[in-house]
Amino acid sequence: MTVKPRTHSAHWGAFSAELQDDKLLITPFAGDPDPSPLLNNFVNALRHPVRIATPMVRRGWLENGPGPDDRRGMDEYIAISWPQAIELAAGELSRVAAEFGPQAVFGGSYGWSSAGRFHHAQSQVHRFLNTTIGGYVRSVNSYSSGAASVILPHIVGDMNEIARRGVSWEEIAEHSQLVLSFGGLALKNSQVASGGLSEHTERGFIQQAARRGTQFISVSPLQTDLPQEAQGEWLAIRPGTDAALILGLLHVLVSKQWSDEAFLARYCVGWDKMVAYLQGKEDGLVRDAAWAADICGIDAARISALATELYGKRVMITVAHALQRAEHGEQPVWLGLVLAAALGQPGLPGGGYGYALGALGHYGKHHNQVSFPALPQGKNGVEAFIPVARIADMLLHPGEAFRYNGQTRHYPTVKLAWWAGGNPFHHHQHLARLRQAFNRLDTLIVHEVAWTATARHADIVLPATMTLEREDVGGAPTDRHLFAMQQLAEPYGQARDDYAIFSELAKKLGREQAFTEGRTARQWLEHLYQQMQEKCQQQQIPVPDFDTFWQQGQLTLPQLKDGGRLLRQLRRDPERYPLPTPSGKIEIFSQTIADFNDADCPGHAVWLTPQQQPDAKHPLYLIANQPASRLHSQLDYGQHSVNQKRDGREVCRMHPQDAAPRGIVDGDTVKISNARGAVLASVEISEQIMAGVIQLPTGAWYDPQDPQAAQPLCRHGNPNVLTLDIGTSSLAQGCCGQITLVEIARYQGTPPQVRAFEPPTIGDRLVVGGNRKGGEALG
């Protein structure tokens, strides 16, 4: 079948594509100055053998009925028909809701899924559970910014105003004299954005700023966290110690009387308490440059010199997602803002504080005057929730108390989890523990495109279409282009889109009208577009009707240049434009947080020593950062992702000083291990990483040699086998997956074959016996 070029969009870019003799030809959006190579992951994805072609049910679940089962992740599957799948899934949801209530159902589905605004899998799941059983246990925050999303509202009032509506790249290119970036500005991160990213402009703006004379300094264990176009300086820092470095810088500013006391007095609260902490007035410990140097591994003289470089310049301080994905991750986020305030920079053109600038393509962009609306999700009647990274704790410790944002809450007792569009065996830590947790469920139902590790643990697997196999509208509040995501290929096998699956399930449950409101998927697209069109008309913004838009394939929307508005208004008039904090000002000290009385997150930012410290057994830091070859684990089997592997395994990097005494040379297969397990990877020897640190990106599909092992070996190179599953602190309970401690060695013998992209065993037809009604044949 040949299809003429049609427009489409992904989280990593807009494009047009056509099928020629089953070969997908992709052309990036003409208006994109720096298209992402991730588009090439689509090329071989449509008919890959790891795709799921038909509904499946796990043999053990059929034989024994719902309940905890250690065979998840290693059982075989039975192919069934769609009517049988709908009957089983609807029946199990009804059973759990009737016996235990909707509070026993976890509507998981954390994940990026499609860039389309209607077929957003998480929204579809939540709408389905709300309209059919009255709600579900939800998760809050994200793995990427779990700590920051809780701390920032306390200290500056609104995370989105600091991140998505922060200082723009355009402003930095025009005004910033120095950009000090804790965690870097890696282009591999900013090439993706939820909902789509049609214009990759970060590289151009960084280059423009550098040519004008902006000085870039990247504080990171990885030199590659700053693009070459920045012509910047790399300050190699010991992982997880940025908070100590910032405290050392602040001490220099205070001791040299370089802090902007007028700004601090008018726009901030609590500076006096921070100064007392720096000077050790309560505990006798002075947090000066020498103290910081011992912790972070940067020479004290360089710390003092850096403070000198900051003083008197228009400075932009940025803090990456990576810093807060670690123990006490709230602290560097808080201290980055404190440093900017001490320099008097917030609210100045090209100056101040930018949380996660460079961590996503959304950040540093302008906002659309009108955005495409989201699918209504209905009302969730269940009050219970968990911080997203605490899912294993919830399943392993139902009823147990936990602290979150000043409250003591309790984990609900969940019997059924429904997942679509996400892969927790990518996002989560300590995968052996996560597997143990999922095995406690009565039932796991998963919609999936392909046989991810999550799908391999499911009891009922419902094959879902890829974004290329359905219609949608792609757009983001920070992307000025709206795209018609036109269908490019027929669904693989019997795959259906999530909306079609949920519509059929809702019909079976007698709630079809509540879920669909009588609309087809195309009619929902028209309805949502009309809502946007009406908002545009109210603001005299001309837009075509839906049919014209669909035929054209794209629409350009006007934008507002209001980045940095929150702090700019504060600086203009703090009485008229107070921040949405208790004081109306930047909270260097937060009485609210102090009153929570949590020792691991006191009332002002501090240095707290992580529990993970190098020792003789595990002397190396492992950085498990975002991959450059894919978005999270999406399309890991795609052409571009596979081409970046070696011998089918993920590539880790280490410094020559660490490789030589271990007899490791470039291209070796290595075993990286700690008390939680081990992974195999191919090694690259590089001086672009500091000594004492190795780096292995996340996203390689989990491929355990023995799924039941207490300390599994992943043949493919998934670092979350090794990472620690604890919360950042009692305040946020965020993810700590960025940093852990390991040892590394050459793999002895012939490495086992990677099987991550091979489907599980598909069993024969069987007759369901005593645990099922009717004894009907399935398969």
- CA dist., res. 273 & res. 600, Å (int): 18
Nearest CA-CA partner of 202 in 231, 241, 174, 229: 229
Nearest CA-CA partner of 120 in 389, 328, 421, 378: 421
Of these residues, 12, 61, 77, 110, which one is catalytic?
110
Of these residues, 12, 77, 112, 492, which one is catalytic?
112
Instruction: Give the distance between the most distant pair of CA atoms in the chain.
Output: 82
DSSP calls for 349-373: TT-EEEETBTTBTTTTSPEESS-PP
Q: Can 112 be counted among the known catalytic residues?
A: yes
Give the contacts of 504 (CB within 8 A, at least 6 positions apart): 82, 86
- Sign of the torsion angle spanned by Cα atoms 409, 413, 418, 422: positive
Nearest CA-CA partner of 549 in 577, 573, 525, 568: 525
Distance of CA 332 to the CA centre of its chain: 19
Strand partners, 460: 57, 445
Q: CB of 55 within 8 A of CB of 223?
A: no
Nearest CA-CA partner of 607 in 251, 322, 135: 251
Q: CB of 213 within 8 A of CB of 172?
A: no
- CA dist., res. 136 & res. 120, Å (int): 18
- CA dist., res. 452 & res. 757, Å (int): 8
3-state secondary structure of 400: coil
| Phi and psi based region of residue 704 (left: phi greater than 0; alpha: psi -120 to 50; beta: remaining) | beta
Q: CB of 471 within 8 A of CB of 9?
A: no
3-state secondary structure of 251: helix
Nearest CA-CA partner of 495 in 543, 528, 462: 462
Q: Can 311 be counted among the known catalytic residues?
A: no
- CA dist., res. 758 & res. 386, Å (int): 33
Q: CB of 736 within 8 A of CB of 326?
A: yes
Q: Which residues are catalytic?
A: 110, 112
